[in-house]
Chains A and B, each alone.
Chain A
Amino acid sequence: MSEINTGGGGGKHDGGKVRSKKASTRVDMTPMVDLGFLLITFFILATTLSKPSSMTLNVPDKTEKVETEPIKASNVMTVFLGKDNKAYYIFGKAANEDPEVKTVGYGYEFRQALLENAKKVGGDKFVVVIKPTKESTYKNMVDVLDEMAITKLKRYALVDELTDSEKALLKDKAKLNI
């Protein structure tokens, strides 16, 4: 390791002049470096490195009633978020018209279904209605909203009330008691 020079720098020679002892100008830096790196390690670990990101969610104003023209059921894909990370969707038909209920997982499968249906409708007439049930988790909802961001579908709505016919449909086709 590095040296610390003591002695040898002067001393009394026999009968010679008394020389002042010259201290070495070199200081052993090793402990200082140790300390420096210790503190660096501490600060790296204590700092929150990756800051979380956030997605904005805008919900419609409840007090303001905007009259909009009704949307045709043929352009609507209704997604129900069920339990055990499964989503169910109906497309093209209202819940009381005996539609086919399809089951998808979140992620790639769901994205494909979205894109496929969006293509069938074409243009920007395609509307997605997201209906989380009480069995679904917060993660499911964020996942679906994220899929909307990925597929860049702008027209979607988060609706938390299920109609009676939808409840009956889910109970009948998806064995989901809500």
Chain B
Amino acid sequence: MPAVKIKRASSSVDMTAMCDVAFLLLTFFILTAQFRSQDAAAIETPSSISGIKVPDNDIMTIGLGRDGKVYFGTDNQNTRIATLENVAAEKGLSFTNAEKKEFSLLSNFGLPINQLKSYLNLPKEQQAKVKQSGIPTDSTGAGANNELKSWVYNARKANNKLRIALKGDNLAKFPEFKNVLATLQAQNINKFNLITGTEAPPAGWTADK
């Protein structure tokens, strides 16, 4: 009787199927990817149970940092350039095409308009190091030094479909929020979104429609 031979399984695995899956997933992720944009300041938003998603397009974001600094940004590069041109015309400033191009790459910023030009001329790595001082606002919302007012106004002029989202930090104090609110109300903007994180509603809670 011959010795029973143990059948040896081949140590090589066919990788083709695994490769197929890997690249299928890869394709999916590439197509659905939306890259995280570089923000002027880290803002940690409070969370709410609201399930409304922030729209992707036609949105203007006003950020409120933890130290009360105000940041401003729009979603579209063309809108950004048009906004900058409008603001420049209003303030009697001029920007070169290179500066406009540079500005269109900023997802948001928090600088007074008179510091913007020198900021845009800095190389990329130095821009990140600049301490942004925030866009000036005031409590009445219509003062001469309120620059947020002109940014909001001119962005809406550039794209009248813009919706407004407010993104405030957990630790931002109420008076600064009030200034932003006053600026918007002074322009008769009475409806806007507050960007929040998502948290689960308490057990048994259902949204009523």
Measuring CB to CB, which residues of chain A are less than 8 angstroms from any residue of chain B? 1-3, 28-30, 32-33, 36-37, 39-40, 43-44, 46-48, 50-63, 81, 111, 132-143, 145-146, 149-150, 152, 160
Contact = CB atoms under 8 A, between A and B. Distances in A.
A47 to B, nearest CB: 5
A150 B202 contact: yes
A138 B49 contact: no
Residues of A contacting B: mostly: mixed
Contacts of A133: 174
Given A46-B36, A51-B53, A141-B177, A57 B25 contact: no
B171 A40 contact: no
Q: Which 9 A-B pairs have the closest CB atoms?
A: A29-B15, A36-B22, A43-B29, A54-B193, A138-B168, A55-B50, A2-B12, A139-B46, A139-B170
A81 B52 contact: no
Interface in B170-187: 170-175, 177-178, 181, 185-186
Contact of A132 (B45, B174, B205): B174
A36 B26 contact: yes
Contact of B23 (A36, A46, A142): A36
Interface in B155-206: 165-166, 168-175, 177-178, 181, 185-186, 188, 190-198, 201-202, 205
Contacts of A61: 188, 190
Contacts of A137: 170-174
Residue among B165, B196, B198 having the largest count of chain A Cβ atoms under 10 Å: B196
B50 A146 contact: yes
A44 to B, nearest CB: 6
A54 B49 contact: no
Contacts of B48: 53, 55, 142, 145-146, 149
B107 to A, nearest CB: 13
A1 B12 contact: yes
Given A47-B33, A59-B190, A142-B46, A53 B52 contact: yes
Contact of A136 (B13, B174, B181, B192): B174
Interface residues of B, number: 58
A42 to B, nearest CB: 9
A105 to B, nearest CB: 15
Contact of A40 (B26, B51, B188): B26
Contacts of B23: 36
B37 to A, nearest CB: 9
A58 B184 CA distance: 12
B26 A39 contact: yes
Contact of B19 (A29, A62, A63, A139): A29
Interface in B4-58: 11-16, 18-19, 22-23, 25-26, 29-30, 32-36, 45-46, 48-54
Contacts of B125: none
Nearest to A62: B185
A61 B166 CA distance: 18
19 contacts: A1-B12, A2-B13, A29-B15, A29-B16, A33-B15, A36-B26, A39-B26, A44-B29, A52-B45, A53-B50, A53-B52, A57-B193, A58-B190, A134-B175, A137-B174, A138-B170, A139-B170, A139-B172, A149-B48
